[in-house]
C-alpha cells in the first residue's frame, strides 16, 4: 500500500523501494538504486523498471553505496561501489561487468589501497599497492599471478618506490650477492662453502659440478623427470659420499613410492656401522651392505559400528586399524550412505576414525563391513640389464672385488652359469646346495656323478640313460599296477633305412632354438624321423631328428641359433631313416610275454601290437629248457627257430618254417600232421607247407601226376613226403606214375627201377614215399611203396 504525501494540489504516493511484483499507478514514488522516480503513466502496470521513460520520470538523482564490488551481484543505476582504491557509480544495470568498464560505471572518486606484500595467489585490482623485493608497486590493471618487476608484466604493475634492492627485472630466481662494496644479481653465484642450518627446500633442478647443466642438455635428459645432475671430472673416481658418524647406526639411501611411508613402500640401499645391533633387521650385522625392498602396505580393518552426526561419519573397528588423518579409506559392505572412498578426517582412538559425508543423521548402530587403506603391487626386486651392450650379463662375484673372480654369470636367454671348484661330498656340500628342492621343467644334463640320498621318482615322460648301472639285484617296473593296465617290459629305439621321402620346403622360421619348416604338400613325416635339409642356408641346412609334427605340412627340429622370423624360401627335406622301436614285454591284455620290432609309435604305458608294420621279432637263446613255447598264433613259430644247444620240449612244437637242430634231438613222443588231397584233371596237388603226409580217400580212375608245391629250394638238403592212397575195386587201382615240383616235371626213380603194382583188392591202402634230394640246384626224386594195407 502506497503512502500519501499531500502537497496541496500536488499529491504523491511513496511506494518504497521498487519491486517487480508491485503494481504502480499515477503519482507513485519509488526508490531505485540511488535515485527516486515518479510514475507518470495514466494506466497502472507491473514489472516496468523505473529507468523506462514511458512509465517513470527521474525525480531525485542520488547515490546508494553498495560496498566492495562483487562480480556476482546485480547492480542498479545510481549504486556506488569501491574497487581497488577507487569509487564507481553504476550508470547502467550491470552484473559481472567489472569497473572501470565505462559502459556500466563512472568513477566518482580516485584513491589507492595498500595490499601488503605481494602474493602470486591474490587477485589485485587497479591502483592496489603492494610491497615486493624492497620496492613498492601500483597495479595498472586487475591481475593475478603476474609478479611485479618482471619486464613481461609492465602492463600490470608500475614501480612507485625503488627500495634497497637493485632492480629485479629479468632476474627471476637470481641470487643477490655483494663484492664487499656493491650488490648485484647473479644467476651463477660462487660460494666457497655453505652451511645449512635447518630445513632446505629446492623447488627445481639441482646441478652439481661445472658441467652438470651442459650434461643435462647434451645427454637430452628428460627435464620433467630430472631432479639432480652431478657432474665430476675427478680421476679415477667420481663419488657421491654419505658418512654417518655413529658406529651403531646404518647409512642409507632410500627411495619412496608415491604411496610409500616409513613403514612400507620403499627401497633402501645402505651399510651398517661397526657396532650395529638392530634386532629388527636381524639379517644384517655390523659392517654389512644391503639392498632392502618393502612394497606399500595395505591396511584392512573390520567395521563393527557406524554412526553419522552433523555430516560426520564415525566408524568403529574390531581391532586397532592403524589409520591416520589424511589417508584415503575405501568402505565396502555397509550400505550406500557409508560405502565409498573418503579422506579420513581424524582417528580419535586406535579403533575409531571419521570422515565427512553430507547425509541425514544416522544413530550409532552395529554393522559389518570392511575399511581398506592403501594399494600395493607385486613388490618385486628386479635386477636387469639392457640390450645395448655386447654381452648384457648379470655377474655375481662374491669376494671378487680385489681378486676378480666370479661365481655366477647370467647370459641373456642362454644360461645361468655357476662355476665354483667345490666338489659335493653330501647333500649339504658342493658348489650349489638347495635345501628345499629343485624343479626343472626342461632338459637337465649332468657331466659329473649324481648321488641321490632318498627315493628317485621319474614321471610325466621318458628317462634316457646312455650307460645305466643298477646295484640292486632286481629292477622293478610297474609298481602299483594293481589294475594290470600297463604293458611291462623293456623298449629300445633304433633307426632303419627307408625309401627316401622328399618334400619341398616353402617357409622357414626359428624361435627359441626351435626350427619350424613348412612344406608345399603333406610330408608324411613322423616324430623321430632323421631329416636332411638342403638348399636353405647355413642356419637351417643339416641333418636333424624331427621333434614334432604340428600339422601335415609342418615339422620342427632343435637348432641353437639366433631367431629367424617366418620367411618364404625354397629348399628340400629328405627322410632316409625312420625311428622305430623294439622290445620285450608282458602284454597286459593276455598276460603273454612277447618280443616285437618295427613299431613306429613310441610306447608309453602300452604297446600297440596291432600297429601297421609292427612284427614279432626273432628270439634266440643258448641252452634253453621250455615247458611250453607259445605265441598268439596257436603255439606256432612262423619264423626260423635255431637252437644250438640241447632243447627239451615237454609240451609240443609246431613250426611252419624250418627248425634246425645241430645237436642231439631226443623226442619222447612224435606226432605228424596229415593233409587231405584230391585229384583234379588227373593231377594231385599237395602243399608241402601244409604237411609232409598226404591222404586221398577217393580211388583214382587212372595213373596220375603228384605235383608237390611250396617246396624249399635250399641246396644240399633232403626231405621226404608220404602219400596214403585208398584203392578202388579190382582192376581200378592206380599209382602216382609222374612227379612234379612246383609244376615242373621231375624224373621219378622207383626202387629196383620198376614202378610198383597197386593193390587190386577193394579199399586197400597203398603208401607211396618220395625222397627229394637237392644238390647243385637240381632235384633227385626217389620213390618207394608199401602196399596192401
The grid cell for 613 is 608294420
Distance, CA of 426 to chain centre: 37
Number of H helices, E strands in the chain: 2, 59
Q: Is the pLDDT of residue 30 over 50?
A: yes
Work out the number of other CB atoms within 10 angstroms of the CB of residue 579.
18
Closest CA to 428 of 451, 395, 456: 451
Beta strands 113-117 and 128-132: pairing type? parallel
Share of the chain above pLDDT 90, in %: 39
Cα dihedral sign for 623, 628, 632, 637?
positive
pLDDT digits (tens, 9 = 90+) for 566-589: 999 999 999 999 999 999 999 998
- Which is more confidently placed, 277 or 549? 549
Which range (324-333, 448-457, 480-489, 641-650) has the least confidence? Answer: 641-650
Q: Is the pLDDT of residue 422 over 80?
A: yes
Taking CB atoms within 8 Å and a gap of at least 24, the contacts of 137-142 are 138/112, 139/84, 142/98
Q: What is the distance between the alpha carbons of residues 79 and 84, in angstroms, rounded to a whole number? A: 17
Q: What is the distance between the alpha carbons of residues 85 and 125, in angstroms, rounded to a whole number? A: 8
Q: Is the pLDDT of residue 47 over 50?
A: yes
Q: How far is CA 53 from CA 31, 41, 59, in A?
A: 15, 9, 12
Please give the sequence-ordered ranges of beta strands (E in DSSP) within 512-590, or none if there are none: 514-519, 530-534, 542-545, 548-551, 554-558, 564-586
pLDDT tier at 186 (50, 70, 90 boundaries)? confident
pLDDT digits (tens, 9 = 90+) for 492-503: 989 899 999 999
pLDDT tier at 179 (50, 70, 90 boundaries)? low
- Which is more confidently placed, 629 or 84? 84
Q: Please give the average per-residue pLDDT across 599-615, as a whole number.
A: 89
Of the ranges 24-38, 161-175, 192-206, the best mean pLDDT one: 24-38
Output Rg (C-alpha) for the chain, integer angstroms.
57
Taking CB atoms within 8 Å and a gap of at least 24, the contacts of 547-555 are 547/514, 549/525, 550/516, 552/522, 552/523, 552/524, 553/518, 553/519, 553/520, 553/521, 553/522, 553/523, 554/516, 554/517, 554/518, 554/519, 555/516, 555/517, 555/519, 555/523, 555/525, 555/531
- Which is more confidently placed, 449 or 532? 532
Contact between 37 and 61 under an 8 Å Cβ cutoff? The reply is: no
The grid cell for 149 is 618487476
Of the ranges 210-214, 426-430, 586-590, the best mean pLDDT one: 586-590
Q: Is the peptide bond before 345 cis (omega within 30 degrees of 0)?
A: no
pLDDT tier at 182 (50, 70, 90 boundaries)? low
Which range (166-180, 233-247, 467-481, 627-641) has the least confidence? Answer: 627-641
Q: Is the peptide bond before 100 cis (omega within 30 degrees of 0)?
A: yes
Closest CA to 703 of 732, 675, 741: 732
712 Cβ contact partners less than 8 Å away, ≥ 6 residues apart: 658, 688, 719
3-state secondary structure of 592: coil
Q: Is the pLDDT of residue 630 over 70?
A: no
Q: What is the distance between the alpha carbons of residues 558 and 576, in angstroms, rounded to a whole number? A: 19
3-state secondary structure of 279: helix
Per-residue HEC secondary structure of 316-367 comes to: EECCCCCCCCCCEEEEECCCCCCCEEEEEEEEEECCEEEEECCCCCEEEEEE
Q: Is the pLDDT of residue 635 over 50?
A: no
pLDDT tier at 18 (50, 70, 90 boundaries)? confident
pLDDT tier at 531 (50, 70, 90 boundaries)? very high
Q: Is 750 exposed, middle or buried (0-12, 13-18, 19+ CB in 10 A)?
A: middle
Distance, CA of 104 to chain centre: 70
Q: Please give the average per-residue pLDDT across 163-181, as a whole number.
A: 68
* Phi-psi region at 605: left, alpha or beta (left = phi > 0; alpha = psi -120 to 50): alpha
| Residue reference for cell 650379463 | 393
The pLDDT, as a whole number, for residue 666 is 72
Q: Please give the average per-residue pLDDT across 112-138, as a whole number.
A: 82
Q: Is the pLDDT of residue 641 over 70?
A: no
Q: Please give the average per-residue pLDDT across 371-377, as a whole number.
A: 92
Q: What is the distance between the alpha carbons of residues 560 and 618, in angstroms, rounded to a whole number? A: 41
pLDDT digits (tens, 9 = 90+) for 465-478: 777 777 778 888 88
The pLDDT, as a whole number, for residue 782 is 95
The pLDDT, as a whole number, for residue 321 is 94
Taking CB atoms within 8 Å and a gap of at least 24, the contacts of 158-162 are 159/135, 160/129, 160/135, 160/136, 161/135, 161/136, 162/135
Contact between 631 and 594 under an 8 Å Cβ cutoff? The reply is: yes
Q: What is the distance between the alpha carbons of residues 45 and 34, in angstroms, rounded to a whole number? A: 22
The one-character DSSP state at 143 is B
| Residue reference for cell 626342461 | 442
Q: Is the pLDDT of residue 338 over 90?
A: yes
Closest CA to 331 of 318, 321, 341: 341
3-state secondary structure of 464: coil
686 Cβ contact partners less than 8 Å away, ≥ 6 residues apart: 675, 677, 694, 706, 707, 708, 709, 721, 723
Of the ranges 69-78, 452-461, 643-652, the best mean pLDDT one: 69-78
Which H helix or E strand runs over 724? strand 717-726
Closest CA to 702 of 682, 722, 730, 686: 682
Q: Please give the average per-residue pLDDT across 9-38, as a whole number.
A: 79
Please give the sequence-ordered ranges of beta strands (E in DSSP) within 49-178, or none if there are none: 56-60, 64-68, 74-75, 79-83, 86-90, 94-95, 105-109, 113-117, 128-132, 135-139, 157-161, 175-178
Q: What is the distance between the alpha carbons of residues 246 and 289, in angstroms, rounded to a whole number? A: 16
Please give the sequence-ordered ranges of beta strands (E in DSSP) within 487-553, or none if there are none: 488-511, 514-519, 530-534, 542-545, 548-551
Query: Which residues pair with residue 410 across a beta bridge?
Result: 394, 416
Q: What is the distance between the alpha carbons of residues 294 and 260, in angstroms, rounded to a whole number? A: 9
pLDDT digits (tens, 9 = 90+) for 716-769: 999 999 999 999 876 678 999 999 999 999 999 998 899 999 998 888 999 999
Of the ranges 55-64, 127-136, 558-567, the best mean pLDDT one: 558-567
Q: Is the pLDDT of residue 649 over 60?
A: no
Closest CA to 500 of 518, 524, 527, 521: 524
Q: Is the pLDDT of residue 336 over 90?
A: yes
Mean pLDDT of the chain: 83
The grid cell for 120 is 602470486
The pLDDT, as a whole number, for residue 2 is 46
Q: Is the pLDDT of residue 8 over 90?
A: no
Q: What is the distance between the alpha carbons of residues 335 and 311, in angstroms, rounded to a whole number? A: 16
Q: Is 65 exposed, middle or buried (0-12, 13-18, 19+ CB in 10 A)?
A: exposed
Amino acid at each position: 500500500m502506497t503512502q500519501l504525501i499531500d502537497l496541496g494540489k500536488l499529491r504523491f504516493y511513496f511506494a518504497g523501494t521498487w519491486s517487480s511484483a508491485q503494481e504502480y499507478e499515477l503519482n507513485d514514488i519509488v526508490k531505485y538504486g540511488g535515485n527516486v522516480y515518479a510514475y507518470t503513466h495514466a494506466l497502472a502496470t507491473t514489472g516496468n523498471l523505473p529507468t523506462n521513460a514511458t512509465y517513470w520520470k527521474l525525480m531525485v538523482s542520488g547515490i546508494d553505496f553498495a560496498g566492495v564490488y562483487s562480480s556476482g551481484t546485480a547492480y542498479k543505476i545510481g549504486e556506488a561501489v569501491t574497487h581497488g582504491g577507487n569509487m564507481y557509480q553504476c550508470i547502467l544495470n550491470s552484473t559481472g561487468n567489472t569497473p572501470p568498464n565505462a559502459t556500466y560505471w563512472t568513477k566518482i572518486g580516485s584513491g589507492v589501497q595498500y595490499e601488503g606484500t605481494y602474493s602470486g595467489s591474490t587477485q589485485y585490482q587497479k591502483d592496489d599497492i603492494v610491497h615486493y623485493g624492497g620496492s613498492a608497486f601500483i597495479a595498472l590493471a586487475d591481475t593475478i599471478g603476474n609478479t611485479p618487476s618482471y619486464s613481461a608484466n609492465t602492463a600490470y604493475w608500475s614501480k612507485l618506490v625503488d627500495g634497497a634492492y637493485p632492480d629485479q627485472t629479468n632476474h627471476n630466481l637470481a641470487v643477490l650477492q655483494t663484492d664487499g662494496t656493491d650488490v648485484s644479481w647473479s644467476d651463477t653465484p660462487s660460494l666457497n662453502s655453505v652451511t645449512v642450518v635447518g630445513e632446505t627446500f629446492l623447488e627445481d633442478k639441482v646441478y652439481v659440478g661445472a658441467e652438470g647443466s651442459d650434461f643435462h642438455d647434451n645427454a637430452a635428459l628428460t627435464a620433467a623427470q630430472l631432479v639432480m645432475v652431478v657432474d665430476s671430472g675427478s680421476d679415477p673416481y667420481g663419488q657421491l659420499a654419505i658418512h654417518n658418524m655413529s658406529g651403531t647406526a646404518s647409512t642409507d639411501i632410500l627411495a619412496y613410492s608415491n604411496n610409500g611411508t616409513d613403514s612400507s613402500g620403499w627401497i633402501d640401499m645402505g651399510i651398517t656401522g661397526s657396532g650395529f645391533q638392530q634386532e629388527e633387521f636381524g639379517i644384517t650385522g655390523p659392517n654389512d651392505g644391503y639392498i632392502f625392498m618393502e612394497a606399500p602396505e595395505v591396511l584392512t580393518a573390520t567395521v563393527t559400528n557406524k554412526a553419522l552426526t552433523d555430516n560426520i561419519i564415525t566408524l568403529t573397528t574390531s581391532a586397532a586399524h592403524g589409520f591416520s588423518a589424511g589417508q584415503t579409506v575405501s568402505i565396502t559392505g555397509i550400505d550406500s550412505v557409508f560405502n565409498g572412498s573418503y579422506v579420513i578426517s581424524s582417528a580419535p582412538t586406535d579403533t575409531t576414525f571419521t570422515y565427512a559425508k553430507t547425509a541425514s543423521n544416522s544413530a550409532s548402530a552395529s554393522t559389518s563391513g570392511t575399511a581398506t587403506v592403501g594399494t600395493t603391487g607385486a613388490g618385486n626386486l628386479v635386477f636387469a640389464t639392457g640390450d645395448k651392450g655386447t654381452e648384457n650379463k648379470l655377474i655375481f662375484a662374491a669376494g671378487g672385488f680385489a681378486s676378480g673372480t666370479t661365481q655366477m654369470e647370467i647370459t641373456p636367454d642362454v644360461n645361468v652359469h655357476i662355476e665354483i671348484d667345490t666338489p659335493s661330498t653330501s647333500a649339504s656340500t658342493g658348489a650349489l646346495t638347495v635345501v628345499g628342492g629343485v624343479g626343472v621343467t626342461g632338459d637337465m644334463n649332468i657331466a659329473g656323478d649324481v648321488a641321490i640320498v632318498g627315493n628317485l621318482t621319474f614321471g610325466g615322460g621318458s628317462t634316457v640313460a646312455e650307460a645305466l648301472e643298477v646295484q640292486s639285484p632286481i629292477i622293478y617296473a610297474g609298481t602299483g599296477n594293481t589294475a594290470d593296465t600297463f604293458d611291462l617290459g623293456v623298449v629300445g629305439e633304433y633307426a632303419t633305412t627307408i625309401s627316401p621321402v622328399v618334400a619341398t620346403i616353402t617357409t622357414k622360421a626359428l624361435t627359441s632354438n626351435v626350427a619350424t619348416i613348412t612344406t608345399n604338400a603333406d610330408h608324411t613325416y613322423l616324430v623321430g624321423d632323421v631329416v636332411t635339409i638342403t638348399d636353405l642356408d647355413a642356419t637351417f641346412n643339416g641333418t636333424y631328428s624331427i621333434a614334432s609334427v604340428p600339422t601335415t605340412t609342418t615339422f620342427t627340429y632343435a637348432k641353437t641359433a639366433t631367431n629367424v622370423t617366418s620367411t618364404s624360401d625354397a629348399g628340400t627335406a629328405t627322410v632316409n631313416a625312420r625311428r622305430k622301436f623294439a622290445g620285450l614285454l608282458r602284454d597286459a591284455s593276455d598276460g603273454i610275454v612277447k618280443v616285437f620290432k618295427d613299431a613306429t609309435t613310441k610306447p608309453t604305458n602300452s604297446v600297440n601290437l596291432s600297429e601297421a608294420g609292427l612284427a614279432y621279432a626273432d628270439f634266440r637263446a643258448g641252452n634253453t629248457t621250455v615247458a611250453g613255447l607259445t605265441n598268439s598264433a596257436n603255439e606256432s613259430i612262423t619264423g626260423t627257430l635255431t637252437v644250438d644247444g640241447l632243447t627239451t620240449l615237454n609240451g609240443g612244437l609246431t613250426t611252419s618254417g624250418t627248425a634246425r637242430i645241430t645237436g642231439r634231438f631226443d623226442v619222447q613222443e612224435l606226432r605228424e600232421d596229415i593233409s587231405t588231397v584230391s585229384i583234379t584233371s588227373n593231377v594231385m596237388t599237395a602243399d608241402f607247407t601244409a604237411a609232409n603226409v598226404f591222404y586221398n580217400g577217393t580211388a583214382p580212375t587212372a595213373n596220375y601226376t603228384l605235383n608237390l608245391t611250396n617246396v624249399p629250394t635250399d641246396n644240399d638238403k633232403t626231405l621226404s613226403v608220404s602219400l596214403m592212397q585208398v584203392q578202388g575195386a579190382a582192376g581200378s587201382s592206380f599209382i602216382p606214375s609222374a612227379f612234379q615240383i612246383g609244376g615242373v616235371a621231375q624224373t621219378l626213380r622207383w626202387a629196383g627201377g620198376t614202378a610198383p603194382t597197386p593193390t587190386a583188392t577193394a579199399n586197400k591202402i597203398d603208401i607211396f614215399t618220395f625222397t627229394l634230394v637237392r644238390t647243385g640246384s637240381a632235384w633227385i626224386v626217389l620213390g618207394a611203396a608199401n602196399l596192401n594195407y
